């Protein structure tokens, strides 16, 4: 979308910072430089393989030093001021920058970095004591310069800018050497573990295909390539639809794990944000905030959630894995949360607290009310 402007620069320690200006922005094109005296970037983390599952765990000790619920006047994601030398040196609409305490990266030399992963075959080989450099990239996506709020409170124009940023970053990160999957997401609420009140999300670029997506690929292999198309057709004819537009439908899934769980799928096959048309992005900028406002209307105070944008891996499953939003919340009543105890946490065997059809009716009424 040509009217949304992208402006790229670098922070004082060399990390990339990208401004995305709204189509109707009132901001000037010039932005101040970052003049902070910053320490060198931390060394790239190391992954260790769990030989019992084949999964990789990134040991990122530098994350222990990240900000934890600072007061609004010291918000590290607000535009910098004389008393708050934040991560973003000037005013902005939407800003994306490399995380200062990343779980993956800095990317360094990609596959040429010391002990870097050497492709899927290398990462799926099992062995005791196997380690690899956590090649990848972690970015922070600031939805607004405001110190409090969430995606649900954005204007349609601002939501559209964030979607454009997700699409731009998905394409750019997918093109980096050694990247196998790109994952945009938002954590909202202290019950989820959020450490900053500022409205923001993150994007992880992984050096492997994540365990969740690997399981999905096996399901597609077993069921057939029409899995997502058949699933969407079945849900659109059922009782769990929350809302539907020309290009997207949102619904509570048949086998919902969480007390609040909403999925959203595009009506045509598209593997990731970068593949969405302008019309699809425009509709998403309206439907997605409506869903979130509905979740906030369920009770008297905002609902904590994780909004996870599942995308096809970079090199496999592009024709079968469809872009999908999964919103989950542990809130099972106004003052009760679901905690992952023995069966879920240890065995991955989920027990649902609510009937999905009842949950769908509850959320649908809240979306209409909101």
Q: What is the rounded CA–CA span in Å between residue 271 and residue 275? A: 7
Mean pLDDT, range 85-90, rounded to an integer: 96
**Residue 67 confidence (pLDDT) above 80:** no
* pLDDT given at position 66: 64
Percent of the chain scoring above 70 in pLDDT? 96
* pLDDT given at position 149: 87
Tell me which residue has tokens 């405001």: 146
Strands (DSSP E) along the chain, which ranges? Answer: 5-10, 16-21, 46-49, 56-59, 94-98, 131-133, 137-142, 181-188, 200-206, 241-244, 248-251, 260-266, 305-310, 324-329, 331-333, 336-337
Q: What is the rounded CA–CA span in Å between residue 252 and residue 260? A: 8
The three-point CA angle 51-57-58 to 5° equals 145
User: What φ, ψ does residue 93 adopt, rounded to 5°?
Assistant: -95, -60
Strands 94-98 and 137-142: antiparallel
Half-sphere exposure of 19 (CA within 13 A, CB side): 25
* pLDDT given at position 317: 98
The contacts of residue 285 (CB under 8 Å, 6+ apart) are: 156, 157, 159, 160, 163
User: What Å distances lie between residue 145 and 6, 136, 187, CA to CA?
Assistant: 16, 27, 17
Q: What is the DSSP letter of 59?
A: E
User: What φ, ψ does residue 255 adopt, rounded to 5°?
Assistant: -115, 55
CATH architecture of 213-369: 2-Layer Sandwich (3.30)
- Say if 5-208 and 213-369 have the same CATH topology: yes
What is the torsional sign of CA 179, 181, 185, 191? negative
* pLDDT given at position 1: 47
Q: pLDDT band at residue 68, thresholds of 50, 70 and 90?
A: low
- Asked which of 149-153, 164-168, 242-246, 292-296 is least confident by mean pLDDT, the reply is 149-153
User: What Å distances lie between residue 321 and 174, 272, 313, 316, CA to CA?
Assistant: 15, 9, 8, 9
CATH superfamily placement of domain 5-208? HIT-like (3.30.428.10)
Q: Is 14 left (phi over 0), alpha (psi -120 to 50) or beta?
A: left
Dihedral of CA atoms 368, 186, 355, 216 in degrees, nearest 10, equals: 120
Residues 103-135 pLDDT 10s: 998 865 556 778 999 888 999 999 999 999 999
| Contact between residue 162 and residue 154 where contact means Cβ atoms under 8 Å apart | yes
Would you please indicate which residues are annotated as catalytic (active-site) residues?
200
**Residue 2 confidence (pLDDT) above 70:** no
* pLDDT given at position 64: 60
Enumerate the domain spans of the chain.
Answer: 5-208, 213-369
Q: Which residue has the higher pLDDT, 262 or 150?
A: 262
* pLDDT given at position 130: 97
Residues 205-250 pLDDT 10s: 999 999 999 999 999 999 999 999 999 999 999 999 999 999 999 9
Residues 282-339 pLDDT 10s: 999 999 999 999 999 999 999 999 999 999 999 999 999 999 999 999 999 999 999 9
pTM as predicted = 0.95
């Amino acid at each position: 979308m040509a009217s949304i402007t992208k402006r790229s620069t670098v922070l004082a320690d060399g990390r990339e910072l990208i401004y995305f200006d709204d189509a109707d922005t009132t901001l000037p094109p010039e932005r101040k430089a970052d003049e902070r005296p910053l320490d060198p970037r931390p060394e790239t983390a190391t992954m260790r393989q769990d030989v019992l599952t084949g999964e990789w765990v990134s040991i990122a000790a530098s994350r222990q030093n990240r900000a934890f619920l600072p007061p609004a006047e010291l918000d590290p994601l607000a535009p910098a001021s004389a008393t708050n030398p934040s991560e973003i040196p000037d005013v902005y609409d939407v800003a994306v920058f490399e995380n200062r305490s990343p779980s993956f990266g800095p990317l360094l030399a990609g596959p040429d970095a010391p002990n870097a992963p050497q492709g899927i075959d290398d990462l799926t080989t099992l062995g005791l004591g196997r380690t690899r450099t956590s090649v990848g990239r972690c970015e922070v996506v600031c939805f607004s310069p405001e110190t409090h709020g969430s995606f649900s409170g954005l204007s349609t124009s601002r939501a559209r800018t964030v979607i454009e940023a997700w699409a731009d970053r998905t394409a750019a990160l997918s093109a980096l050497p050694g990247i196998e999957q790109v994952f945009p997401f938002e954590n909202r609420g202290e019950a989820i573990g959020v450490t900053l009140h500022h409205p923001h999300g993150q994007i992880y670029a992984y050096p492997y295909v994540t365990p969740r997506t690997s399981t999905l690929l096996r399901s597609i292999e077993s069921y057939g390539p029409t899995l997502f198309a058949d699933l969407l057709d079945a849900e659109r004819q059922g009782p769990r639809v929350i809302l539907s537009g020309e290009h997207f439908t949102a619904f509570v899934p048949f086998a919902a794990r969480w007390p609040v769980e909403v999925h959203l799928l595009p009506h045509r096959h598209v593997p990731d944000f970068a593949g969405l048309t302008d019309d699809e992005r425009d509709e998403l900028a309206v439907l997605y905030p409506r869903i979130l406002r509905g979740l906030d209307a369920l009770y008297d105070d905002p609902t904590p959630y994780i909004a996870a944008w599942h995308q096809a891996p970079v090199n496999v499953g592009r024709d079968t894995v469809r872009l999908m939003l999964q919103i989950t919340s542990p809130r099972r009543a106004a003052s009760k949360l679901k905690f992952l105890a023995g069966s879920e946490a240890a065995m991955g065997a989920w027990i649902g607290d609510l009937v999905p059809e009842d949950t769908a009716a509850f959320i649908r009424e809240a979306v209409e009310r909101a």
